Structure 1
């Protein structure tokens, strides 16, 4: 299953954000903010399914009221750069019945947050567009046994080797700050993701679904796959209306590349596993028949042809002739392939598969690099367009000098400023700055696209060899007891397999030798 959405962020006053506004947005309630003396309201009736506040045992009962809770949070945070709350947005799998979403999110919040002393305010949203999700707001301060907010950090004096305070030249005592809780440690992002992954997979299993989720990145999962690009609401709506977009076309190219690479990779891995197993089976065959030389691949193909004829001994003459002619054509084609590539033994076949893998592997790696860079270029261009569009709003925000008017402007343009800041972060990460040379990026993208098309062609030329090797594997598998032959009507013949006969003969021979030895000792 594709990696579901799971985003963690902090509500920051320094960015004009408000915990009351965040609670109003996800709950659809009309909430009055005592901090800026404004009413916050976002109409979410069409998508709102359920809202709830979960309190730890030591929280004041009054905090079950949303306005009371988040106004209390904002009141205790008196700095202009205070962190107000933690926000988590996560997706529900559509494969799980909707009536189970509530128990899923409550189990998650209780286990990971409320049991640790946090207050969890969550809301389930579902527009019916295939994207059911939940918003969670979490408090950042812990509380004492009376429900009073405790400091986020405390001052701790540094001590010397004698356990005494260290005085600085200024006369002050050397000290440092220590967090009262470790909720902000980065390790918890992984813990929370893994917990939601575990809960989700448990509910999928209970629903009888085969899908499973993994919230790790493709790289961390060891999956050699190129991630697709996030379309965004505008491109997503255009694609839904059947209008092709730049990002949509890129995603389709990435999906095609992933499909081709995965197909070739799986086939080669299957052939390699089969070769390893076949080598072991071949040794049993040699020992049982006590042959001085190993059978050639052509010999095994002839054995396959004979076995097929044996299995059809009770068929009608017409059916025998028809199927024998078909098998003969297939075997001759396989034998011709073996001769053309000088493949005589299992070791030769193993080397051919290894050579095929060595040819395909660098092509796959280069294709992955190309597609990843094309993905980055698409993200840079998308971020640059958002940056250019929203820069006037951001510039107006920066020019405002009075705190109240600045906060009011930030609240009014929250979504635009958030999108602008996200675009800046993307450009700094992928482009090294906000200045973008579109012509150079377009030229690079075009060159990468051409190179990827050539790599696609080269990978596709390997498909005939892969198909031929798969067919040879199928034929030899039948001889080496890897598959059973089926008679018409779906009945499996009761005849013993060749390998089983050989193993029984070997066992009987060994038993006979043991009996002869015992008999000689008795004499």
Structure 2
């Protein structure tokens, strides 16, 4: 990019080192990449597709909460009174269905049972209280996102540990058989035939030896238990994240209704100006 005169730069550091709260995809490897290109789904490919969906959810909720946070903060700074948004909303609710009501044409209000359930359920009667609720939702989002991303990163490490342990266990018999053979043509033929298994075993040994050198114990059962626990916890956290969508939708409907109410206030004045012209 630099050679092309463009300002962007590729950062080869991990998301964690860059300080980005995003779930990293896993490396497919040659075999899985070839299968995926042929349209054959693989376990690693499925994991990456789930990670992409998870990142999309995190990004979507972040964008929606950020918009609502800015709007409620702006509205909370305005003076409250009989003409405030919240006062108009409750007046509109009481006037709904009455002949001649100026709120009768507001579509969202007719479908706003969830909106008022949200307000009443959270004891919200002012924009300041709504802002505090959205601020709390925003805080909860970042807390959940941090837990999800941290768990996913650890799961990725544990899955790699387990994958290497599985390669070690699966191929150690082949290596022992090879080591017992006397030098000669048969051993050479065996090595040619089982070269892939021997290479996987050697890679696994190097990986596990590096772990031990870094002070980590080789505990496959614990790795599996930790991975299962983290995956279960992450699933619960995602359900909480998805549940936030309902509250977000309620506040979005409130914002939309408030904008419609504002238009009902300005419409008569606009028509009067047009008539005078």
TM range (shorter): 0.5 to 0.7
**SS of residue matched to 2:24:** coil
Aligned to 2:246, which of 464, 485, 499?
464
Show the counterpart of 1:352: 133
TM-score (norm 2): 0.65
Show the counterpart of 2:22: 225
- Cα deviation for residue 444 of structure 1 reads 2.5
Alignment of 1:196-345 (within 5 A): 196=1, 198-199=2-3, 202=6, 214-240=11-37, 241-245=39-43, 247-280=44-77, 282=78, 295-299=84-88, 324=105, 326-331=107-112, 333-345=114-126
Aligned to 1:380, which of 138, 141, 161?
161
Alignment of 1:508-523 (within 5 A): none
**SS of residue matched to 2:6:** helix
Show the counterpart of 1:442: 224
- Cα deviation for residue 445 of structure 1 reads 2.1
In 1: Cα distance, 2:227 partner to 2:132 partner: 37
Give the unaligned 5+ runs of structure 2.
Answer: 96-101, 180-194
In 1: Cα distance, 2:211 partner to 2:252 partner: 45
In 2: Cα distance, 1:228 partner to 1:329 partner: 44
In 1: Cα distance, 2:212 partner to 2:252 partner: 42
Answer yes or no: is the 8 Å Cα contact 2:175–2:201 preserved in 1: no
In 2: Cα distance, 1:478 partner to 1:201 partner: 48
| 2:168 pairs with 1:364 | no
Residues 1:432 and 1:381: Cα distance change in structure 2 (over 3 Å) = farther
- Cα deviation for residue 421 of structure 1 reads 5.8
Question: Which structure has greater helix proportion?
Answer: 2
* Deviation string, structure 1 residues 353-410 (Cα, Å, up to 9, x no partner): 12223333333222222211111112223334556659959x98xxxxxxxxxxxxxx
- Cα deviation for residue 350 of structure 1 reads 0.7
Residues 1:243 and 1:333: Cα distance change in structure 2 (over 3 Å) = closer
Answer yes or no: is the 8 Å Cα contact 1:257–1:367 preserved in 2: no
The more displaced of 422-431 and 261-270 is 422-431
Residues 1:477 and 1:325: Cα distance change in structure 2 (over 3 Å) = closer
Show the counterpart of 1:516: none
Residues 1:237 and 1:342: Cα distance change in structure 2 (over 3 Å) = same
Residues 1:213 and 1:337: Cα distance change in structure 2 (over 3 Å) = same
- Cα deviation for residue 279 of structure 1 reads 3.7
- Cα deviation for residue 473 of structure 1 reads 1.9
In 2: Cα distance, 1:215 partner to 1:201 partner: 19
Answer yes or no: is the 8 Å Cα contact 2:165–2:220 preserved in 1: no
Residues 1:377 and 1:336: Cα distance change in structure 2 (over 3 Å) = closer
Answer yes or no: is the 8 Å Cα contact 1:383–1:426 preserved in 2: yes
Answer yes or no: is the 8 Å Cα contact 1:201–1:213 preserved in 2: no
- Cα deviation for residue 344 of structure 1 reads 1.6
In 2: Cα distance, 1:275 partner to 1:362 partner: 21
Answer yes or no: is the 8 Å Cα contact 2:212–2:218 preserved in 1: no
Residues 1:258 and 1:327: Cα distance change in structure 2 (over 3 Å) = closer
Residues 1:255 and 1:426: Cα distance change in structure 2 (over 3 Å) = farther
In 2: Cα distance, 1:336 partner to 1:367 partner: 29
Alignment of 1:23-102 (within 5 A): none
- Cα deviation for residue 221 of structure 1 reads 4.2
Answer yes or no: is the 8 Å Cα contact 1:297–1:343 preserved in 2: no
Equivalenced residues, count: 241
- Cα deviation for residue 239 of structure 1 reads 3.7
Residues 1:266 and 1:325: Cα distance change in structure 2 (over 3 Å) = closer
* Deviation string, structure 1 residues 470-490 (Cα, Å, up to 9, x no partner): 111223245568xxx9xxxxx
Greater Rg by CA: 1
**SS of residue matched to 2:119:** helix
- Cα deviation for residue 242 of structure 1 reads 2.1
- Cα deviation for residue 258 of structure 1 reads 2.3
Instruction: Determine which structure has greater relative contact order: mean sequence separation of CA pairs < 8 Å that are 6+ residues apart, divided by chain length.
Output: 2
Give the unaligned 5+ runs of structure 1.
Answer: 1-195, 205-211, 287-291, 307-312, 314-320, 397-412, 486-492, 502-523
**SS of residue matched to 2:111:** helix
- Cα deviation for residue 202 of structure 1 reads 2.8
- Cα deviation for residue 326 of structure 1 reads 3.3
